[in-house]
Amino acid sequence: MRDRIEAFVENEKDQMIRDLVELIGYPSINGDAEENRKCLSAYLHMAEKLGFKTAKTSAGDAGIVEYGEGSETVGILVHLDVVAVGDAQKWEHDPFGGFVRDGWVHGRGAADDKNGAIMALYALKALKELVPDPEKRIRIIAGTGEEGEWTDMDHFKQEFQCPDCGFTPDGEFPLYNREKGYADAVLKFSQTGTKDFTIESIHTENSANTIPSLATVTLKASEEGAAVIRRLRHPKLLLKREENGCLTLTFTGVSAHSSIPEKGDNALCTLCSVLRPYIDICLFAFVDEFLSGDIHAKKLEIGCEDEYYNGVRIGRTTAVPTIITLEDGCLRLGINIRQQFGITKGDIEEAFIKYSSKYGYELSVKNLLDPIMIDQDLKIMKMMADAYEAWGFKNSFGLASGTTYAKAMPNIVAWGPLFPEDIDTCHEENERISVDSFLMAEKIYITFLCEAAATKESLL
């Protein structure tokens, strides 16, 4: 079987990469429903050309590709939406151009998660050739809302049956059977100015789950205030411009996935910390006091320093500001939270409400998802581990700091496609994936599906 899998991947690799580049060409940024529908339609058309049955939710926000019959269904959950490009000036090429260079596929979605969508599709094609009479139904579920609110998964579950078990190729190898939780805290501040300054606009260039690489504020200032800002110097102050009586300042940082904020440099934190001594705005003070330089929000006391829960490592809570806007005369600050096991919505609310009067904000908590822990003794887990080790790797079970569609349905885990030694560029400028890793992950997925589809035994 190994020789046949290697031959299949070798034969299909060029088309797989062409299809990935095609998908990257759709600017399917989360929230752009039209572009996401176009990308989903293109993906389902690829599947139909390969001879598979497809379907969509009535809202057109999630699609299904299916092969085989059986009383048990294995799901492969992928997503076609992507995060915003961040600082466009940092991209070496068009983020939606899609190209291959020096053994890498480049573009937004190359690593998160259009690569996984293509791998799933061609793993199904391999299964069709290698296991013509499967004992299981294999169903790819392609969503378009993973980087935001999961209404696509809600619609899917209203109209279709969930798989019994499966995986999402939207993380790393080996097996990540645990994930931290997810929540977006939104703080609404009514104060938008002081005696000498009024905020005319303020924004970041990234998404709610990305460390912002740019943060820009436009200020209307008194003569005295303007003089203060003109004298301001800082190494991360990228741009300072005067126009129409206003001052615009842009601070730079380094984008990263908000689940691993230590990889980034938060431009929003820099903006607040630099301006706080000169502009007495509560939002700046709150961010500087509770969030700047402290990704674990120790002062807010969301979670604790103990990384274990019932003897299992579950990591520490992170809380980082990612989005800031001026809307309807109020400043809105979005804080992305990845909470430990044992932390509830009530705990998160209590942590922020404690300071709401002092800093003058209203709180709402959105998109709350609880942490998950899948039993590593399930038969499907052993099959995945065996498939990984069959290609010379050592399996283990780990904790994912990020959030994936594994939380959307029972018995789903994040599994690949990045390897431990790979460079992770998800949510960063110049996103890319190694062609070698892409093809090796494909072999592992095919190996697992062939084994899982051939067995008559339950995978649970």
- Residues of the chain with pLDDT below 50 are none
Mapping DSSP to helix (H, G, I), strand (E, B) and coil, where does residue 74 land?
strand
Domains of the chain, start order: 2-179+372-454 (3.40.630.10), 182-369 (3.30.70.360)
Q: How many residues does the chain have?
A: 460
Closest CA to 163 of 44, 21, 65, 306: 65
Query: What DSSP character marks residue 195?
Result: S
Q: How many CA atoms lie less than 13 Å away from 340 in the CB half-sphere?
A: 21
d(CA 267, CA 254) in angstroms, rounded, equals 7
Measured between alpha carbons, how far is 116 from 77 in angstroms, rounded to an integer?
Answer: 9
Whole-angstrom CA distances from 97 to 20, 78, 430 are: 11, 21, 11
Distance separating alpha carbons of residues 133 and 125, to the nearest angstrom: 13
Tokens of 323: 């989005």
Each residue's pLDDT tens digit, 182-233: 999 999 999 999 999 999 999 998 789 999 999 999 999 999 999 999 999 9
Q: Looking at residue 342, what is its pLDDT?
A: 87
pTM of the entire predicted model: 0.92
pLDDT digits (tens, 9 = 90+) for 32-90: 999 999 999 999 999 999 999 999 999 999 999 999 999 999 999 999 999 999 999 99
Handedness of CA 166, 171, 177, 180 (dihedral sign): negative
Q: Could you give phi then psi for residue 327, rounded to 5 degrees?
A: -135, 130
| Helix, strand, coil percent values for the chain (each to nearest 5) | 30, 30, 40
- 3-class SS of residue 215: strand
